[in-house]
């Protein structure tokens, strides 16, 4: 099958490799579209290696058709249109995925859009609701509200009944976030987000942060008593000097997570929760991804450049 390889200079190229083996409890998906995510960029640079035993091929989410099943999986899955959270291997014509990480696509959802959902839905659900414990009536601040995870987290929070403030890097992105229901959208290149939140009396209960760096101190100062910070990335660096006194005085909780290394059992549990709570909203188009651009598999390098440029609103896809 065709897939994307990475050479010693971090260049992406099309190559050939063996078809994946469909192990017990897995399904083999013929990939129609693969999502492009920041962890893929990190893996290309050698900074986010796949867990032991998983495919070294890039790609953490796909959509397509099941063409074969492993032992222990009902044959009725063959032919179904699905999207899936992968442990790796998505930038390829075929990928083998545990059934517990697979979701059948409803008739109302195009396969193309389905490919843009698994990584963002899982990440937003785990960090905003499991770890962040966002409740109706609370206020959420999302750093990077127009990004792949951010714009899905924004919609999920609004559907939950939360007030949402977001940051974004241009007026176009700010307007996009407002169109999704953001109560306050701040252009961080022009305004200080903490000061804007104070001016609008929007003191967050929860911060979903992908920035880190000097933002950590600002979040500690801004949060309500018993507020929470959930860290999902560190665009400004993970090594920070910070006064932790506000954390103690306001009983603030700071945590974070990565998804790829979690167990199959954990991912299946999250999948089941998403199917029950969020997938019906996907089926009715109340929760939908925005796709910024789409590239053929052979242009994977250009897809990475588009994401790396920081101008993307929503998701980037590879088409097979």
The region of weakest confidence among 45-49, 105-109, 278-282 is 45-49
On whether both 15 and 109 belong to a single domain, the answer is yes
On whether both 128 and 206 belong to a single domain, the answer is yes
On whether both 272 and 229 belong to a single domain, the answer is no
On whether both 281 and 208 belong to a single domain, the answer is no
Distance between CA atoms of residues 205 and 102, nearest Å: 32
Distance between CA atoms of residues 268 and 270, nearest Å: 5
Domain end (from 222, 256, 290): 256
Q: Residue 51's pLDDT band (boundaries 50, 70, 90)?
A: confident
On whether both 107 and 124 belong to a single domain, the answer is no
Distance between CA atoms of residues 288 and 112, nearest Å: 11
| Distance (Å) of CA 84 to CA 40, 213, 261 | 16, 32, 16
The region of weakest confidence among 2-6, 123-127, 238-242, 314-318 is 238-242
Distance between CA atoms of residues 220 and 215, nearest Å: 9
Q: What is the pLDDT of residue 1?
A: 98
On whether both 44 and 158 belong to a single domain, the answer is no
CA angle 182, 163, 38 (to 5 degrees): 55
On whether both 136 and 108 belong to a single domain, the answer is no
CATH of the domain at 84: 3.90.180.10
Q: What is the pLDDT of residue 304?
A: 98
Give per-residue pLDDT as tens, 143-185.
Answer: 999 999 999 999 999 999 999 999 999 999 999 999 999 999 9
- pLDDT higher than 90, residue 188: yes
**CA 51 distance to own-chain centroid:** 18
Structural domain span for residue 236: 120-256
Average pLDDT value for residue range 209-234: 97
Look up the pTM and report it.
0.96
Distance between CA atoms of residues 55 and 88, nearest Å: 5
Domain end (from 256, 277, 305): 256
10: tokens are 């971090």
On whether both 63 and 162 belong to a single domain, the answer is no
On whether both 242 and 124 belong to a single domain, the answer is yes
Domain end (from 209, 233, 256): 256
On whether both 128 and 14 belong to a single domain, the answer is no
- pLDDT higher than 90, residue 46: yes
Residue 262 near residue 127 (C-beta atoms within 8 A): no
For the chain, give the percent of residues with pLDDT over 70.
100
On whether both 269 and 248 belong to a single domain, the answer is no
Average pLDDT value for residue range 18-39: 97
Q: Residue 17's pLDDT band (boundaries 50, 70, 90)?
A: very high
Q: What is the pLDDT of residue 120?
A: 98
When divided into structural domains, the chain yields a total of 2
CATH of the domain at 182: 3.40.50.720
Choose among 260, 149, 162, 262: nearest CA to 211. Answer: 149
On whether both 284 and 301 belong to a single domain, the answer is yes
Average pLDDT value for residue range 131-140: 98
Average pLDDT value for residue range 190-214: 97
Average pLDDT value for residue range 42-55: 92
Residue 67 near residue 73 (C-beta atoms within 8 A): no
Query: What is the length of the chain?
Result: 320
Give per-residue pLDDT as tens, 295-317.
Answer: 999 999 999 999 999 889 999 99
């Amino acid at each position: 099958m065709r897939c994307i390889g990475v050479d010693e200079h971090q260049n992406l190229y099309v190559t050939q490799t063996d078809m994946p083996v469909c192990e017990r409890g897995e399904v083999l998906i013929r990939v129609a579209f693969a999502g492009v995510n920041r962890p893929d960029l990190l893996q290309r640079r050698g900074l986010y290696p796949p867990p032991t035993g998983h495919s070294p091929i890039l790609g953490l989410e796909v959509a397509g058709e099941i063409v074969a099943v492993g032992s222990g999986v009902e044959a009725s899955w063959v032919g179904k249109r699905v999207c899936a959270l992968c442990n790796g291997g998505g930038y390829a014509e075929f990928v083998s995925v545990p059934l517990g990480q697979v979701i059948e696509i409803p008739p109302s959802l195009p396969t193309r859009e389905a490919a843009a959902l698994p990584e963002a839905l899982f990440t937003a659900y785990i960090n905003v609701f499991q770890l962040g414990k966002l409740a109706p009536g609370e206020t959420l601040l999302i750093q990077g509200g127009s990004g792949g995870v951010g714009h899905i987290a924004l919609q999920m929070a609004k559907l939950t009944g939360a007030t949402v403030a977001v940051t974004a890097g241009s007026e176009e992105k700010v307007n996009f976030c407002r169109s999704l229901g953001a109560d306050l959208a701040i252009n961080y290149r022009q305004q200080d987000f903490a000061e804007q939140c104070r001016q609008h009396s929007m003191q967050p209960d929860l911060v979903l942060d992908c920035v880190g760096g000097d933002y950590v101190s600002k979040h500690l100062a801004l949060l309500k008593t018993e507020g929470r910070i959930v860290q999902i990335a560190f665009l400004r660096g993970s090594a920070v000097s910070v006064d932790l006194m506000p954390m103690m005085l306001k009983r603030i909780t700071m945590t974070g997570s990565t998804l790829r290394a979690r167990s199959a059992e954990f991912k299946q549990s999250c999948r089941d929760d998403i199917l029950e709570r969020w997938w019906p909203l996907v089926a009715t188009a109340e929760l939908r991804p925005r796709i910024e651009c789409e590239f053929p598999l052979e242009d994977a390098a250009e897809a990475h450049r588009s994401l790396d440029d920081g101008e993307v609103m929503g998701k980037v896809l590879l088409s097979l």
